[in-house]
């Protein structure tokens, strides 16, 4: 438990391995980097020496010598980080970290202060970072345009204003349409929606999907109320929907958290789910299985999204041709609130 390691022996270097194996530094470097043109006998001897001294390459030296950074930054705008009470953030990070674990890139994280954005920008442009991932509620923020001229960047979610940036997203519109179609197929004819904010791409896309499905079946699409993706806003929207006094037997909610809010109001009024009103949510987060009856919802594969973002970023860094927009497939999880 000696936390003081001031006097600890320094980490073994390439040089030491070379000396032990009786070869040159260059040869050890070749072995470490899997350069094929090394005699197998020699390579074996080197590998043994590496194990013997427990050698690990020094990343700083490597980065310096090769003239390229070996880390990738995940940026979370400060305002966004405050809102992350949902598992979205943790899951994206998880996906990203899992993918990068198998590469030579290290993941670092930055909370981008809105007060001094130059600080983050300087960090990114200082040549210390090979690329960046942005997880933001205001995806595609124009403020990153300048940065993305210099280093590869990949965004989580479709930017509100498409600007040629690389991003990965789920097909919110198609998924919402599918969810609504389930309601229609279940025989529901008065289908409302609690939509998300219309200044966020998922908010816009999900309501459009709902509308598409209704139009395709010639159903009424006037039963719309808006929330802000929070539980309480979902409850309020549900109340407003009910106060309209119109018939209502199906409900598509733009995320599970608002659906949980809607549930409380429905329960209050003694409206049965799914008997009186069938409900479909979106995201398949912890709320979906927390509520009773369990929520039928669209599964949003966030970890996969993180993985894909990392994959695309690495491809970009290494100059591989890559599609600018990537859609991750969703699936409808049928539980008890609609089927």
Partner DNA sequence: TGAGGTTGAGAGAGCGCTCTCTTGCAAGTT
Partner DNA sequence: AACTTGCAAGAGAGCGCTCTCTCAACCTCA
Q: From DNA, its own copies, none, which one binds at residue 146 (CB under 5 to 8 Å depending on kind)?
A: none
What is the nearest approach in angstroms of DNA to the Cβ of residue 319?
A: 14
Q: Are 111 and 78 in contact (CB under 8 A)?
A: yes
Q: From its own copies, DNA, none, which one binds at residue 27 (CB under 5 to 8 Å depending on kind)?
A: DNA
**Alpha carbon distance 241, 228 (integer Å):** 15
Q: From DNA, its own copies, none, which one binds at residue 225 (CB under 5 to 8 Å depending on kind)?
A: none
Q: Are 210 and 180 in contact (CB under 8 A)?
A: yes
* Residue closer to DNA, measured from CB, 26 or 216: 26
* Residue closer to its own copies, measured from CB, 44 or 90: 90
Stretch that binds DNA, among 17-25, 207-215, 310-318, 328-336 (CB under 7 A): 17-25
Of 24-63, binders to DNA (CB under 7 A) are 24-27, 29-30, 32-33, 37-39, 42, 55-58, 61-62
**Alpha carbon distance 83, 226 (integer Å):** 18
* Residue closer to its own copies, measured from CB, 151 or 280: 151
Q: From its own copies, DNA, none, which one binds at residue 294 (CB under 5 to 8 Å depending on kind)?
A: none
Strands (E), the chain: 71-77, 106-112, 131-134, 153-156, 166-170, 191-195, 224-226, 250-253, 278-283, 296-299, 325-328, 331-333
Residue 282 in contact with DNA, rule: CB under 7 A: no
Of 60-89, binders to DNA (CB under 7 A) are 61-62, 64-67
Strands (E), 171-293: 191-195, 224-226, 250-253, 278-283
What is the nearest approach in angstroms of its own copies to the Cβ of residue 4?
A: 7
Helix, strand, coil percent content, the chain, rounded in steps of 5:
45, 15, 40
Q: From DNA, its own copies, none, which one binds at residue 283 (CB under 5 to 8 Å depending on kind)?
A: none
Point out which residues bind DNA (CB under 7 A): 10-15, 22-27, 29-30, 32-33, 37-39, 42, 55-58, 61-62, 64-67
């Amino acid at each position: 438990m000696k936390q003081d390691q001031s006097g600890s022996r320094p980490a073994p270097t390439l040089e030491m391995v070379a000396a032990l194996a009786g070869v040159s530094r260059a040869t050890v470097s070749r072995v470490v980097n899997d350069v094929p043109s090394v005699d197998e006998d020699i390579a074996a001897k080197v590998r043994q020496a590496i194990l013997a001294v427990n050698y690990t390459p020094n990343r700083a030296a490597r980065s310096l010598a090769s003239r390229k950074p070996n880390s990738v930054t995940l940026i979370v705008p400060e305002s966004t980080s405050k809102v992350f009470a949902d598992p979205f953030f943790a899951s994206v990070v998880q996906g990203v970290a899992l993918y990068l674990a198998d590469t030579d890139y290290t993941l670092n994280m930055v909370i981008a202060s809105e007060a001094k954005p130059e600080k983050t920008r300087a960090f990114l442009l200082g040549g210390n970072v090979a690329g960046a991932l942005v997880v933001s509620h205001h995806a595609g923020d124009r403020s990153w345009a300048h940065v993305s001229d210099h280093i590869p960047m990949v965004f989580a979610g479709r930017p509100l204003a498409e600007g040629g940036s690389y991003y990965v997203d789920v097909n919110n519109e198609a998924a919402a349409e599918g969810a609504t179609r389930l309601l229609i197929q279940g025989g529901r004819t008065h289908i409302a929606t609690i939509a998300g904010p219309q200044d966020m791409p998922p908010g816009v896309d999900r309501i459009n999907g709902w509308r598409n499905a209704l139009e395709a079946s010639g159903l009424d699409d006037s039963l719309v109320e808006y929330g802000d993706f929070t539980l309480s806003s979902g409850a309020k929207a549900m109340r407003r929907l009910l106060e309209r006094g119109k018939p209502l037997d199906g409900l598509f909610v733009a995320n599970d958290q608002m659906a949980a809010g809607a549930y409380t109001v429905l329960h209050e009024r003694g409206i049965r789910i799914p008997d009186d009103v069938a409900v479909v949510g979106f995201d398949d987060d912890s709320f979906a299985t927390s509520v009773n009856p369990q929520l039928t919802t669209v599964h949003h594969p966030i970890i996969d999204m993180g993985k894909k973002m990392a994959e695309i970023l690495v491809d970009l860094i290494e100059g591989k041709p890559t599609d600018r927009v990537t859609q991750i497939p969703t699936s409808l999880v049928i539980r008890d609130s609609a089927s």
